Amino acid sequence: MYLTGIESRRRRVEAARARANRAEIVKALSQGQISRRDLLRWGLFSAAGLLVCKNGLSPFARSAFADVPTGAPRSPLFGIRKFSRALPRLLVQQPLPLKRTAAGEAAFPEASGYDNAKRLSYHNDFNAYKGPGPNPFRNPITNRGPMEGRPPGEFFAHQRWEEFFPKVGYVFSWGSCVAGTKFHADLPDQDANAVWTFGVGKFSQGTMAPYLIKGRYGEPILTRIYNNTPTDHAANRGFGRNETQLHFHNAHNAAESDGATGAHHFPGTFYDYLWGTALARHDRINVDASDARASGPDGNGGLVKVPGDFREIQGTLWAHDHRFFFTAENVYKGNLMMVNYYSGPDRGNELIADGVNLRLPSGKFLDYGNLDFDVNLVISDGATDLDGQYFFDIFNTDGFLGDLPLVNFAYAPYFEVLPRKYRFRVLNASMSRFYRFMLSASGKPVPITVVASDGNLLVQPVTLSDLDEQGNAERFDIIVDFSKFSVGSRLHLVNRLRMRDDGRGPKEALSLSDAFKGRDDDPLIGAVLEFRVVGSVQSVDAPSQTLTIANSCGAYDKSVVPPLLSQQIPIVTPTRTRVIEFGRSGDGDSRDSRTGECTPNCPETATFPWSVKVNGEDAHTFNANRISMLIPKPGEVEHWTFVNGGGGWDHPIHLHFEEGVTMNRGGASMAPTERQARKDVWRLRPSGSVQIQVQFGEFGGAYVNHCHNTVHEDFAMLMRYQLLAAKGTHAAVTPTPVPTADGVKFLTPEILREGDPRRLSTANRT
Ligand SMILES: [Cu+2]
């Protein structure tokens, strides 16, 4: 359609006004200056909870002539161009050694001044303190409530503390960013409360790029997170909740350390997470730790063998906020980091040839965890307001799509590579956007070899030119061989997946050439990262060393991509099957019908269009005090079918704690990278379904299963499942924590009948 200059300008002005108005409303609401009732009275909010689409109000009203994908005027670029700055590598964190005290506590180095980590939360000490004087275990910032957010009592004590006693520790703070934080050298500095990221130490300020932790099997980690966000929850610059719990997606951790039990904590407090590096099937397979493939690097060329199934080894993981009902706001705002787990087979060293090490591209200077040729790529889509400040729309319940391609939180950077093999750990860290990547050299596709999916090694590498779709939180580990390219060549990682304008899911994959040209209506289509082939780079593993073609390429590229990476976990006859349908069912029942409150509390304006049905029974929306599925004992194999309730949506469904083996998609075709692959996120496809095999063990407690389009997740497309241990405290159902600024209280959860196999007849068996 041809528009006159005047009409075109009128529309742009109106879209800008819409965005400004909406941003004002979002800000006023999140700061408590106006209420849901005000919006209803003004006719701007419907009873169903949607912002009424009026020109000049909602940029998401199509009639507002807004730009896609954000539904608002384009984020300003202030004259910058793509590929004008180098990719920032993730910031590798240094562990602190921990020592066991006579009392069985884990002590940080004395000079650090950090309190010991303990099996039971300091909340117990806070409760037990009888004076005289102020409670020494109180929150040091607010002087209210305990200093540790982990709930009191045995249910939130670290399970198997002695067995997985932490050897190293990290202390981080999450909160306001340091001055000078920006997405590109020539974009504006972010306000301290526009971006909330992690900083090192107690009550430190946050930095970018995201952090990277190098974990290894056999070396349990204690991660302490201080909440250093403002005590005033209105001081969030329009989005972000000053309460957090950190989910270590998808490590095999006990529930109290999974970061998704509803035990979020408040400014001034910390939470200790025990990342025990337990290898799944620890209690059932290789219990005597005799299999060298189930192991971690010892730091000196050898291995520390651990119990468990080597086929369950994990590699590329990440951790992110999981404050129920506010996850999208908080993750988007910067609450995320990556964690690489290193193992005997996946060592991060390409020289050690001991018959166990796969020698995948990585580097050679360090015993394990070399990063010279092993690169984490955190890919997301951001947006800013017209002043260049980070922006998020908390009213969008369908999907938030940004218009700034970010890699490791930097605007469309370039990365210098030598002509040799590299491994890239590609994470989709977007809230709602799916990607489909190809690698392009002068418009021609370059082969990519996939070695892992969601951090799980494939049994055999898969070489293709066209990666499968990648939903939110999905990871692909890919190997790219640049050896055929001469110095000076430029290659591009190209996203060719168009999303539906409403954020519901993917619309179509463009051809490489069409995608490469880019699209005016979505800046995330096209190249997001440029690779520049060069003759030398500085080592990140040994910064005094220069890596060159002469010492790292050709015959000196010692990395290997073996034909066999792991072994297949067989599909067996299950103890039971379950069907879990993700759909839309109306108003939802997250709020208590008597009190109108969510558990834990949710935004006053929250609506619940998204729901989950188990075994064909009633649809529910998330309430942490409701158990949708109960796993009665460890070790039983279950087959679950995730079903998309329809409507043209797609949902990336995430199962916490255990990996599932992908069995089938009903009758539909499967990508070669997902056939029988172990994963923790499955895209359902519009009207699609996927069946997986799961087995639970090692720990008990409350976990969740949910849509990882975090916008759907926050509007309650989430369910609690309860895993019962064979014996001990966790043989019983976990009481539901209700965190408050003065401490944690508990509720007794409801268990849905259809989710409890102890009460089901065999009629349920299919
Ligand atoms: Cu969803």
CA of 708 to the centre of ligand 1 (A): 6
Closest of 673, 261, 318, 343 to residue 476, by C-alpha: 673
CA of 680 to the centre of ligand 1 (A): 15
CA of 29 to the centre of ligand 1 (A): 25
In this structure, are residues 723 and 704 in contact, taking their beta carbons and an 8 Å threshold? no
CA of 697 to the centre of ligand 1 (A): 27
Q: How far, CA to CA in Å, does 87 sit from each of 78, 188, 334, 489, 643?
A: 19, 18, 17, 17, 39
Residue 554 class from Cβ within 10 Å (0-12 exposed, 13-18 middle, 19+ buried)? exposed
The C-alpha atoms of residue 609 and residue 414 are separated, in whole angstroms, by 40
CA of 255 to the centre of ligand 1 (A): 23
In this structure, are residues 464 and 446 in contact, taking their beta carbons and an 8 Å threshold? no
Task: Report how far apart the first and last C-alpha atoms of the chain are (Å, whole number).
Answer: 55
Helix (H) or strand (E) holding 215: strand 211-216
CA of 761 to the centre of ligand 1 (A): 31
The C-alpha atoms of residue 75 and residue 183 are separated, in whole angstroms, by 12
Secondary structure of the chain: what % helix, strand, coil (to 5)? 10, 30, 55
Beta bridge partners of 634: none
Helix (H) or strand (E) holding 530: strand 526-533
The C-alpha atoms of residue 708 and residue 714 are separated, in whole angstroms, by 9
CA of 629 to the centre of ligand 1 (A): 19
Q: How far, CA to CA in Å, does 116 sit from each of 156, 282, 446?
A: 17, 27, 51
CA of 647 to the centre of ligand 1 (A): 11
| pLDDT given at position 18 | 63
CA of 64 to the centre of ligand 1 (A): 26
CA of 652 to the centre of ligand 1 (A): 6
CA of 330 to the centre of ligand 1 (A): 18
In this structure, are residues 264 and 244 in contact, taking their beta carbons and an 8 Å threshold? yes
| pLDDT given at position 530 | 98
CA of 654 to the centre of ligand 1 (A): 10
User: What are the b/e assignments for 355-383, b being 16+ CB within 10 Å?
Assistant: ebbbbbbbbbbbbbbbbbbbbbbbbbbbb
The Cβ-side half-sphere exposure at 356, using a 13 Å CA radius, reads 22
DSSP 8-state symbol, 552: H
In the chain, the amino acid numbered 645 is G
Give residue 330's region: left, alpha or beta (phi > 0; psi -120 to 50): alpha
CA of 361 to the centre of ligand 1 (A): 35
CA of 541 to the centre of ligand 1 (A): 39
pLDDT in tens, 278-302: 999 999 999 999 999 999 999 999 9
The C-alpha atoms of residue 152 and residue 307 are separated, in whole angstroms, by 30
| pLDDT given at position 175 | 98
Which of helix, strand or coil describes residue 16?
Answer: helix
| pLDDT given at position 55 | 44
The C-alpha atoms of residue 361 and residue 359 are separated, in whole angstroms, by 6
What is the largest distance, in Å, between two alpha-carbon atoms of the chain? Answer: 80
Joined tokens for residue 671? 């990508």
CA of 46 to the centre of ligand 1 (A): 22
Q: How far, CA to CA in Å, does 497 sit from each of 252, 434, 446, 506, 684?
A: 32, 7, 18, 7, 16
Rounded mean pLDDT for each run of 10 residues along the chain, 766 residues in total: 60 62 67 69 59 46 48 84 98 98 98 98 98 96 98 98 98 98 98 98 97 98 98 91 97 98 98 98 98 98 98 98 96 98 98 98 98 98 91 82 96 98 98 97 97 98 97 98 98 95 84 94 95 98 98 98 98 98 91 92 87 96 98 97 91 98 97 98 96 98 96 93 97 98 97 91 46
* Residue carrying the six token digits 């009213």: 395
The C-alpha atoms of residue 20 and residue 57 are separated, in whole angstroms, by 8
CA of 620 to the centre of ligand 1 (A): 14
The C-alpha atoms of residue 289 and residue 344 are separated, in whole angstroms, by 13
Which of helix, strand or coil describes residue 378?
Answer: strand
The Cβ-side half-sphere exposure at 750, using a 13 Å CA radius, reads 13
Give residue 160's region: left, alpha or beta (phi > 0; psi -120 to 50): left
The torsion of the CA quartet 59, 60, 62, 63, rounded to 10 degrees, works out to -40
CA of 525 to the centre of ligand 1 (A): 22
CA of 467 to the centre of ligand 1 (A): 21
CA of 717 to the centre of ligand 1 (A): 7
Contacts (Cβ under 8 Å, ≥6 apart) of 432: 398, 399, 400, 401, 472, 499, 503, 709, 710, 711, 712
CA of 473 to the centre of ligand 1 (A): 12
| pLDDT given at position 12 | 60
The torsion of the CA quartet 457, 459, 461, 462, rounded to 10 degrees, works out to -110
pLDDT in tens, 536-570: 999 999 999 999 999 999 999 999 999 999 999 99
Which of helix, strand or coil describes residue 551?
Answer: helix
| pLDDT given at position 647 | 79
CA 455 to chain centre: 12
In this structure, are residues 128 and 182 in contact, taking their beta carbons and an 8 Å threshold? no
The C-alpha atoms of residue 362 and residue 561 are separated, in whole angstroms, by 11
Closest of 409, 341, 352 to residue 380, by C-alpha: 409
CA of 400 to the centre of ligand 1 (A): 12
CA of 718 to the centre of ligand 1 (A): 9
Contacts (Cβ under 8 Å, ≥6 apart) of 132: none
CA of 648 to the centre of ligand 1 (A): 11
CA of 716 to the centre of ligand 1 (A): 10
CA of 290 to the centre of ligand 1 (A): 42
pTM equals 0.93
CA of 651 to the centre of ligand 1 (A): 4
The C-alpha atoms of residue 612 and residue 606 are separated, in whole angstroms, by 17
Strands 475-481, 448-453: pairing kind:
antiparallel
In this structure, are residues 676 and 311 in contact, taking their beta carbons and an 8 Å threshold? no
| pLDDT given at position 64 | 39
Alpha helix stretches (DSSP H) within 67-197: 122-128
Closest of 186, 176, 180, 177 to residue 76, by C-alpha: 186
CA of 607 to the centre of ligand 1 (A): 15
CA of 555 to the centre of ligand 1 (A): 47
